[in-house]
Amino acid sequence: MRSPFKFLDAYTLEDKGQFFGRETETEELYKMVFKTPLLLVYGLSGTGKTSLIQCGLASCFEGPDWFPLFIRRQDNINWSLRDVLKGELHGIEASDSLPEMVYQLYRHYLRPVFLIFDQLEELFILGSREEQQQLLEGLKMLIGADLPCTIILAVREEYLGRLYSFEKAIPSLFDFRLRVEPMNAAKVKTVLTSSFEQFNIALEKPEEESLQLIIDNISAGKSGIQLPYFQAYLDMLYREDYHRTYGEEERGEKLPPLEFSRQEIKAFGSIEHVLEKFLHQQQASIQQLLARKYPGFPDGAVREILDAFVTEEGTKRPIGYCRREESKEVLPEEPALSLLPPLATAALSDCVELLEQSRLIRFSDNIMELAHDSLAALIDEQRTSEQRQLNEAKRRIQGNYLDYCQTGEFLSRKQLNAYEDYLPQLTLDKEILQYIHDSQAHADKLDAEEKARQQRELRLVQQKLEAEKRAARRQRFFTLLTSLAAIVALAFFIWALYQRNEKERAFFDIQLANAVSLKTQGHYENAISLLQEAVLFIATPEQKAQSDTLMGKFRRVARLVSLADTLALEDSTLRLALEKYQQANDISPDGLIQSKITLTRDAIEQRFRDYMSRAANIMDYGGCSHALKLLRKAKQLKPDDESLHKMIQRCEGSI
């Protein structure tokens, strides 16, 4: 049977008769495209940005006036843009210049061109700085060419801030923007009423009561309603009622009449877990089917394949593919194979096909991807703590690489040691792998230079001591020969010994100062080694006491800082890391430790704000059970925060 509801698919121009509830946004967007060559459409994931453009906006134009070109990043957004433009020229020799290519299209079709960059957040999640810069330059050229062309950038609200770097080159970037708001209960009621009328669905009377029951199930008493969950809920409710009424029988082209009773609506349950339940059911069903068809099919392989379609940040990851001409098997492109479990081609192809049939993934052009970001978020929640640690390490390495691109600063020896265990399990771009290799070489060079410096200093000290010993021998020889000058010689000898002691004391002080300097740079083991070498030149009890005290402090500080560095890798232990840094600073303060304290405090604040912001957004859409997880993570960072406790109480009260 076919369901009239879209499940997780976006609306297209063909669905304009079924697209309800976005009349105001559609009209506002339609007016904007005539005022500017560049506009932004943004909103939270699942608010319907793509549907608003390719159905709402498209339906406002007469056929000849609407010439949209949809661009997704795929492997590289700049390559995709040129491929789309060349594909529409149909054999006409294309220019290398973007403005000239757009003008060629306009002359060929005599229609204004709409370049629609959909899901632009993929550029910032998966793209390099060079790719982003190249797109910025291309957009700037297109706008400056004054062409009959409108550029629409559709991006998730969480990534809107990443566009601020574009504003320097394109000052008008944010002048025309439209925020797609989540639907409230009133709009949802309008959508339900219109859809049920369109799809031959009746409600048990009194209809208003039945309608309100559906809205209560969809919103779970909250103000915001996530459209992907809304569509999935209606699709699954329709299919269940259809099977209950007609069984597996197809009823022809027209949609047969159905009635949703209040008892059926109550039995179906609320929206909160409908998509998660659907994901788990399909995942388990496909796993069992493939295990029967392919003996030895690994447990959890379907979950691993789905996980490959999710980025480290919990968003969709498009995967390129092709099909074998003979068998029509699906073959993922080479870069994606490292993300997938090692399976036979036939088993992997069957799994992907079954995931597509179950509506969890979709094929488009030469890429396959999850049907919606809401599925990506659910799959991300299934990840183990080990996967999350790997993802966190990968995010940090990518952040270090971005810093390196701006400052040229390599990874330190301590950072390399911290990442060492994770690197064999991470899939990194070749540019980042080269950066790690160069950092290792740079750290080796610094270590060699430091060792050479210490050896030079030690040789100088030894040479000085040898010279002093030779001078002492000569002095004793002259004393024996010159009996008349015995008193003078004795005094000279005593003076020479005194000078040697002074020099040994001075060398001890130099070693001490060098050890302190190494300690302030974080080289604790080298500092302790220098203190151990300085013991050979101790001249007074005070120096011995000073050496013992420093050595004890340095060892305690080294243990605390090493422990704190490890703890700082996890959000859940950032507070404990801060305590260890502060203990180390109390024992022996220096600028490096104080810098770590400041950075850790900043990280706590940043992570806390991030968890609070994400939890607030999720609560607005009714996902308190997911928001509560984020709030508990925030509590690990700032357990005494009053606003956090209020949000937890509010969330627990609504579950």
Domain of residue 51, CATH code: 3.40.50.300
Taking the C-alpha atoms of residue 554 and residue 584, their distance in angstroms, rounded to an integer, is: 9
Provide the CATH number for the domain around residue 365.
1.10.10
Taking the C-alpha atoms of residue 115 and residue 138, their distance in angstroms, rounded to an integer, is: 12
The total of structural domains in the chain comes to 3
Question: Does 313 fall in a domain?
Answer: yes
Does pLDDT of 537 surpass 70? no
Q: pLDDT category, 483, cuts 50, 70, 90?
A: low
Percent of the chain residues past pLDDT 90, beyond the cut: 29
Question: Does 415 fall in a domain?
Answer: no
pLDDT for 213 equals 87
Taking the C-alpha atoms of residue 521 and residue 208, their distance in angstroms, rounded to an integer, is: 71
Same domain for 78 and 33: yes
Does pLDDT of 23 surpass 90? yes
Question: Does 635 fall in a domain?
Answer: no
Q: How many distinct helices (H) and strands (E) make up the chain?
A: 26, 11
Residue the block writes with tokens 């609306």 = 11
If one counts every other C-beta atom within 10 angstroms of the C-beta of residue 273, the result is 12
Same domain for 117 and 80: yes
- Residues 6 or more apart whose Cβ sits within 8 Å of residue 275: 228, 229, 232, 374, 375, 378
Structure tokens at 647: 């949000």
Same domain for 346 and 291: yes
Same domain for 49 and 33: yes
Residue 171 phi, psi (nearest 5): -60, -25
Question: Does 624 fall in a domain?
Answer: no
Strongest mean pLDDT among 16-25, 322-331, 485-494: 16-25
Q: Residue 454, Cα to own-chain centre: how many angstroms?
A: 43
Q: Model confidence over 617-646: pLDDT tens digits?
A: 888 777 788 888 888 899 999 999 998 898
Taking the C-alpha atoms of residue 555 and residue 246, their distance in angstroms, rounded to an integer, is: 77
Compare 402 and 100 and report the one with higher pLDDT: 100
Same domain for 141 and 92: yes
Question: Does 516 fall in a domain?
Answer: no
Question: Does 400 fall in a domain?
Answer: no
Taking the C-alpha atoms of residue 340 and residue 317, their distance in angstroms, rounded to an integer, is: 12
pLDDT, average across residues 111-117: 95
Q: Model confidence over 39-72: pLDDT tens digits?
A: 999 998 878 999 999 999 999 998 778 899 999 9
The residue among 186, 123, 182 whose CA lies nearest residue 155 is: 123
Does pLDDT of 366 surpass 70? yes
Question: Could you say which of 383, 417, 446 is where a domain stops?
Answer: 383
Taking the C-alpha atoms of residue 435 and residue 441, their distance in angstroms, rounded to an integer, is: 10
Determine contact, residues 515/534, Cβ cutoff 8 Å.
yes
Same domain for 149 and 41: yes
Question: Could you say which of 365, 383, 401 is where a domain stops?
Answer: 383
Same domain for 280 and 260: no
48: left (phi over 0), alpha (psi -120 to 50) or beta: left
Taking the C-alpha atoms of residue 583 and residue 587, their distance in angstroms, rounded to an integer, is: 6
Question: Could you say which of 114, 149, 179 is where a domain stops?
Answer: 179
Same domain for 282 and 267: no
Q: pLDDT category, 268, cuts 50, 70, 90?
A: confident
Taking the C-alpha atoms of residue 632 and residue 634, their distance in angstroms, rounded to an integer, is: 5
Same domain for 210 and 359: no
Same domain for 212 and 164: no
Does pLDDT of 242 surpass 50? yes
Is the pTM here over 0.75, yes or no? no
- Per the structure, the complete domain to which residue 284 belongs is given by 275-383
**184-198 burial, b if ≥16 CB within 10 A, otherwise e?**
ebebbbebbeebbee
DSSP category for residue 114: E
Question: Does 391 fall in a domain?
Answer: no
Question: Does 606 fall in a domain?
Answer: no
Does pLDDT of 117 surpass 60? yes
Determine contact, residues 590/520, Cβ cutoff 8 Å.
yes
Angle at 176 between CA 150 and CA 24, to 5 degrees: 95
Same domain for 305 and 210: no
Same domain for 148 and 55: yes
pLDDT for 105 equals 93
